[in-house]
């Protein structure tokens, strides 16, 4: 029996994307760049996390960002900090893919970058299906979204290398069962690196910065050093 045509087409798309993601990865590795793929719901704090991270680390490493968006609102906010930042105009698409990242690479001087922050489209579903060639999937959940999100968007939480729970300052004003949230995450992704943070108050962010410092250090130590985070999808 032949396979359904829909499945075939989907597999072809994914395999083409995987090949392009491998190309991105090879270019990043050749230049010694550590790159992360930031994924979250709209408004969970992707841009806030990038802004905080740039402020904290820009004097100790060379940073750059790419932002998948339809308008350059976030790009302008990031550019204020004087780091290279490129818009990938998604044209309303629901996720970044490896081909879009490849199109942005020639506009960046990879040899002059230690850490590349890729801001995906605000969406807890579609981005989980497309490798970008980055080294780690960073998922940001946020307290106002509610504690049931791992149960309702399992693919995103399953594919994460690091999970940040942002807006923990809202725990004071909102019902949110952190243990229920954590149990949902652990059932999908045991032992996942987890940072509860507030990009507004700065609480908890030092542990996140330290994780990034460590990844960049290992990357610089060369391919012999085992990366803690490897894109697992």
Binding site for its own copies (CB under 8 A): 41-43, 69-71, 73, 92-94, 121-126, 142, 144-146, 148-149, 151-155, 167, 170, 173
Contacting residues for 84 by C-beta, under 8 A, at least 6 apart: 64, 65, 108, 109, 113
Could you tell me if 193 and 161 are in contact, meaning their C-beta atoms sit under 8 angstroms apart?
A: yes
Q: Which is nearer to its own copies, 79 or 125 (CB)?
A: 125
CB of 47 to its own copies, least distance (A): 9
Q: How far apart are CA 179 and CA 131, in angstroms?
A: 30
Q: Which is nearer to its own copies, 12 or 210 (CB)?
A: 12
CB of 102 to its own copies, least distance (A): 18
CB of 221 to its own copies, least distance (A): 38
Q: Which residues pair with 137 in a beta bridge?
A: 37
Q: Which is nearer to its own copies, 75 or 116 (CB)?
A: 75
Q: Which is nearer to its own copies, 47 or 215 (CB)?
A: 47
CB of 77 to its own copies, least distance (A): 10
CB of 118 to its own copies, least distance (A): 17
Could you tell me if 68 and 120 are in contact, meaning their C-beta atoms sit under 8 angstroms apart?
A: yes
Q: Which is nearer to its own copies, 67 or 114 (CB)?
A: 67
CB of 134 to its own copies, least distance (A): 21
CB of 36 to its own copies, least distance (A): 21
């Amino acid at each position: 029996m032949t396979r359904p045509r829909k499945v075939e087409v989907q597999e072809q798309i994914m395999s083409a994307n995987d090949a392009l993601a491998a190309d991105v990865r090879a270019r990043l590795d050749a230049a010694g760049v550590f790159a992360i793929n930031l994924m979250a719901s709209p408004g969970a704090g992707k841009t806030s996390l990038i802004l905080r991270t740039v402020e904290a680390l820009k004097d100790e490493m060379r940073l750059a960002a790419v932002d998948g968006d339809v308008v350059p609102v976030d790009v302008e906010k990031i550019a204020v900090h004087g780091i290279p930042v490129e818009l990938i105009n998604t044209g309303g698409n629901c996720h970044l893919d490896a081909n879009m990242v490849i199109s942005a690479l020639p506009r960046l001087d990879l040899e002059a970058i230690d850490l590349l922050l890729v801001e995906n489209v605000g969406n807890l579903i579609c981005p989980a299906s497309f490798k970008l060639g980055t080294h780690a999937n960073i998922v940001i959940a946020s307290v106002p979204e509610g504690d049931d999100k791992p149960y309702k968007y399992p693919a995103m939480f399953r594919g994460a290398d690091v999970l940040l729970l942002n807006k923990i300052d809202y725990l004071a004003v909102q019902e949110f069962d952190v243990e229920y949230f954590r149990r949902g995450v652990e059932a999908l992704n045991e032992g996942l690196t987890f940072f509860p943070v507030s990009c507004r108050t700065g609480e908890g962010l030092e542990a996140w910065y330290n994780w990034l410092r460590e990844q960049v250090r290992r990357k610089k130590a060369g391919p012999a050093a085992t990366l803690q985070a490897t894109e697992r999808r």
